[in-house]
Homo-oligomer: A and B are copies of this chain.
Amino acid sequence: MLDPADLDAADPLAFARGRFRIPDGLIYLDGNSLGVLPKSTPARLGVTSEQEWGDGLISSWNAAGWIDWPLSIAARLAPLVGASPDELLICDSTSINLFKLAMAACALRPDRKVILTEEANFPTDLYMLQSAAKLSGAELRAVPRSELSAALDQTVGLLSLTHVDYRSGERHDLAGLTGEAHRAGALTLWDLSHSAGVLAVDLARANADFALGCGYKYLSGGPGAPAFLFVRRGLQQLCTNPLPGWFGHESPFDFDTGYRPATGIARFQTGTPPILAMAALDEGLKLFANVDTADVEAKTGRLGDLFIENVGDCLALASPRDAGRRGGHIVFAHDAAYSIVQASIERGVIGDFRAPNLARFGFAPLSLTYSEVAKAGAIVRDVVLSDYWREPRFAERKAVT
């Protein structure tokens, strides 16, 4: 078994832990749902609200650079996903961005009437793709993961997948499937919500077309943080934003009655950027400055391995055992998964439950130590083996998020 103290001593990301505020005694393994708070964020919100908004008022759109934040904050994300800064934008929500990009992609392949996805994709992806397909005169075809390659026929205009499955943690081969899609004449749209910030995503090397992701998970942007979107540079000028708000106009403050899209990625903006929320996301992204994504991915995998080893065989692993095939989280299947999660929370280990029978634990590599992850695994093991989870108070279902 790996020695957690040795791993911590050699951890090139160890410096980051102290930059997060983590409640005493808590081992938080739910950063895949809501990332922990960077210590710098409250003060940044103070500056943005009091100095920039309160004192600077309207002049801060220029003086504080607010007008550029959708692009300038996105630039901090670029190395994490293997993109150029001019291929990324911070805006709207994951759901909205999925709609924008799926519609844009369909318009580029008018003769191909199928959006292909997998049936176990995250629900909001399925819902938004369904709507985008309908409005594009296309059809959403959702197949089992194992049938994706075979389904890539000449009717498919867009392959839209989530890189890391929100339940199993299983990772798609992003580069491989992008290549397959391209050889079949289709474009690709990747949801990186569960991979940005934990894996060494490389959109450029994969020659990926479109991507997007969430700001509030591993990027620690805060609850409901703005999302990001990516469009490969070569496609940008060909694309139409189906939600063409004034901030995507070539010159918003000309107040033209006719829409002229901005050059490049900026055309994917819609409404006025949410400045306070973007300030918080900026603080989360700053913590990744000068971090090597190879180190990030390596630590993510080792944290998961360590947890699996410490939990042992008392729970059935429902994620790939090979870290190279996983994202940042791991699930175990057990009929009493709900109660096991609740009992573990009472013992200070925060995971979450996913119906019908999954206990899920996420491993944010910047804010976790190997030692606490090993300890958390041992706690969960004890909760299961001691039958602690059978206490009646853990049986009652509460609303979970």
* Chain B residues with CB under 8 A of A350: 57-58
CB–CB A58/B142 < 8 A = no
* Chain B residues with CB under 8 A of A253: 399-401
Q: Measured between alpha carbons, how far is A96 from B95 in the docked complex, in Å?
A: 12
Give A46's nearest chain B residue, CB to CB.
B42
* Chain B residues with CB under 8 A of A50: 21, 37, 42
Interface residue? A256 (CB, 8 A): yes
- Interface residues in A218-242 by Cβ distance below 8 A to B read 222-227, 242
* Chain B residues with CB under 8 A of A41: 49
Q: Which of A93, A126, A222, A259 has the most CB of B within 10 A?
A: A93
CB–CB A131/B354 < 8 A = no
Interface residue? A62 (CB, 8 A): yes
Q: Which of A28, A135, A227 has the most CB of B within 10 A?
A: A135
CB–CB A271/B93 < 8 A = yes
Interface residue? A389 (CB, 8 A): no
Give A220's nearest chain B residue, CB to CB.
B53
- Interface residues in A34-50 by Cβ distance below 8 A to B read 34, 36-37, 41-42, 45-46, 49-50
CB–CB B61/A401 < 8 A = yes
Q: Measured between alpha carbons, how far is A252 from B249 in the docked complex, in Å?
A: 34
Q: Measured between alpha carbons, how far is A179 from B314 in the docked complex, in Å?
A: 68
Interface residue? A348 (CB, 8 A): no
Which listed segment binds B: A156-164, A201-209, A274-282? Answer: A274-282
Interface residue? A290 (CB, 8 A): no
Interface residue? A210 (CB, 8 A): no
Interface residue? A392 (CB, 8 A): no
Interface residue? A30 (CB, 8 A): yes
Give A400's nearest chain B residue, CB to CB.
B253
* Chain B residues with CB under 8 A of A92: 92-93, 96, 271
Give A242's nearest chain B residue, CB to CB.
B131
Contacts A46-B45, A274-B226 given; does A37 touch B58 at CB 8 Å: no
Q: Measured between alpha carbons, how far is A252 from B354 in the docked complex, in Å?
A: 12
CB–CB A123/B243 < 8 A = no
- The distance from the CB of A260 to the nearest CB of chain B, in whole angstroms, is 10
CB–CB B271/A95 < 8 A = yes
* Chain B residues with CB under 8 A of A30: 57-58
Interface residue? A94 (CB, 8 A): yes
